[in-house]
Amino acid sequence: MKREFFIIASAACLLVAQSISAAVTSAKPSNVVIIHVDDMGWRDLGCMGSPVYETPHIDALAKTGTLYTSAYAAANICTPSRSCMLSGSQPSRHGVYTVVRNRGKKEHWKVTPLKNNQFMPKDFPTLGTVLTAAGIANGAVGKWHVGGASPSNGFKEGYLGGYLGLPIDYFAPFKLPFLPKNVPAGSYLPPYVRAAGVDFLERHQKERFFLYFSTYLPHDQIKNKEGATLTAPKEVVAKYQRKIAAMKNAGQDLQGHSNPVYAAMIEETDRSVGAIINKLESLGLRENTLVLFISDNGGVSQYTSQKPLRGEKCELYEGGIRVPMIASMPGKVAEGKRSDEPISGIDFYPTICSFMGVKPSDADKVDGEDLSEVFFAGKALGERNLFWNFPSYNSPKNPARCPRTVLRRGDWKIHHRYEDNGYELYNLKEDIGESKDLSKTRPKVYEMMRKELDASYERFGAVKSLPANPQYNAKEAEAERAKLTPETLPPAMTSAQAYKLLR
């Protein structure tokens, strides 16, 4: 009897073991998709309160996940932002501080900025490096702009991206060698980019994969050397011309979202997001894929309003670095939630490494924090230092675009200006528009933030000061700054008041 019981029990255990093994074998692997959009401002989505822009696919993504309202780009302009996000490293480690080079006349630089690396060093490790080494399929689709060619820096695949962050023309014929060739004249670029993203998902659906899907939209409207204006399809622009006119006639507040071309570019961005999410769903991969949506920097005030935030792209005030951000994975990330947890694109690298079970190529170069418990358990990280270092010139005549470093800790944010070694202190909870400098009236907080800033300079190996520029022409430089129209600051507003604007 005992022998029979043993045989039956052993058989039962074997069946259970086989069942577990089969379940593990048949379980779909966990994947990651980063959707990186270009120059999208903090409130440039329906779910972030825009009364004009239509973003149904992104809004739906937010409903299936968590919308982070205190999320930041890793830098204030695209190339360093992307380099920091894909590597998890501060600019002081890879040397990418701005786009291409320091700008403006050298005679207008009061201090000598650090030399800038146009692209990340080829041997600098990225997510592509560690995932390729682990045998995980990975690819970059769309805007690249962190290397001379795509793929590079460890990525296995790369499509429709290269050395330039702008396509020059959104309509064919495309002039850049890495964009589609032999396509009908007048063809619009975004459908080709999203088709390449969909194709990547199709080809790798039975593997573990990481897709870096990077749109060229909604990049600001720029006139290139040929005089062509970057824009969107005429029918979409016309739709927003009618909508904006009707809202104005009805006396509705557009809240600064009144450019029909930019609105059309936002809608086209949304269509690309929809194509990626719909493909994940049709392949049955949605529930086992972590989707992260973020912008590479803040919006451009010439085309969209950043209010109640101060500043815009290229600046380290909130309008230049605070961006819309969504994390979504049905059943794993809380759905329909809003979080005010301060997080940054620089945190994506360690988070994805943790999520996909791989170790960073060089842990000493990883400056971000693992957000796994933030995303999947809703836990707070507690007070920590978020640090942005910009020892560069973007526009010498604009003090906000001259060398500076900022640090956020809790509700407090400190700015350090390299040119005059001056400081600004703001309480973001009470003044999200950074309009009241408290550096003279809150001495204890100021000293604490100075210490944290100094510690961060040391931790990241960032320069604390820059030498005076011997070629500086003070008279000429000051005359140029005098021409600058002072920025109209948004009204002082608490976070709670600002978030009432968000729907």
Per-residue H/E/C for 39-95: CCCCCCCHHHCCCCCCCHHHHHHHHCEEEECCEECCCCCHHHHHHHHHHCCCHHHHC
* 433 domain residue, yes or no: no
Cα separation, 368 vs 96, in Å, equals: 16
* 493 domain residue, yes or no: no
In eight-state DSSP terms, residue 364 is G
> Tens digits of per-residue pLDDT, 447-470?
999 999 999 999 999 999 999 999
Would you call 60 exposed, middle or buried from its count of C-beta atoms within 10 A (0-12, 13-18, 19+)? middle
pLDDT at 361: 87
> Are the beta carbons of 178 and 196 closer than 8 angstroms?
no
Name which residue leads in pLDDT, 16 or 121: 121
Residue 6 pLDDT level (bands cut at 50, 70, 90): very low
* 210 domain residue, yes or no: yes
> Tens digits of per-residue pLDDT, 198-237?
999 999 999 999 999 999 999 865 555 554 566 889 999 9
pLDDT at 387: 98
Name which residue leads in pLDDT, 17 or 295: 295
Cα separation, 313 vs 299, in Å, equals: 5
Q: Which residue type, as a one-letter code, is found at position 397? A: K
Residue 427 has pLDDT above 80, yes or no: yes
* 496 domain residue, yes or no: no
Residue 23 pLDDT level (bands cut at 50, 70, 90): very low
- Tell me the average pLDDT across 183-189: 95
* 399 domain residue, yes or no: no
Q: What is the CATH number of the domain that holds 283?
A: 3.40.720.10
- Tell me, rounded to whole angstroms, the distance of Cα 361 from its chain centroid: 22
* 18 domain residue, yes or no: no
- Tell me the average pLDDT across 400-424: 98
Total domains present in the chain: 1
Stated as kind and residue range, the H or E segment containing 240 is helix 234-249
Residue 489 has pLDDT above 80, yes or no: no
Residue 496 pLDDT level (bands cut at 50, 70, 90): confident
> Tens digits of per-residue pLDDT, 48-92?
999 999 999 999 999 999 999 999 999 999 999 999 999 999 999
Residue 26 has pLDDT above 90, yes or no: no
* 494 domain residue, yes or no: no
| Owning domain of residue 246 | 30-380
Q: What is the DSSP string of 427-447?
A: ETTT-TT-----TTT-HHHHH
pLDDT at 221: 56
* 412 domain residue, yes or no: no
> Are the beta carbons of 341 and 381 closer than 8 angstroms?
yes
pLDDT at 157: 98
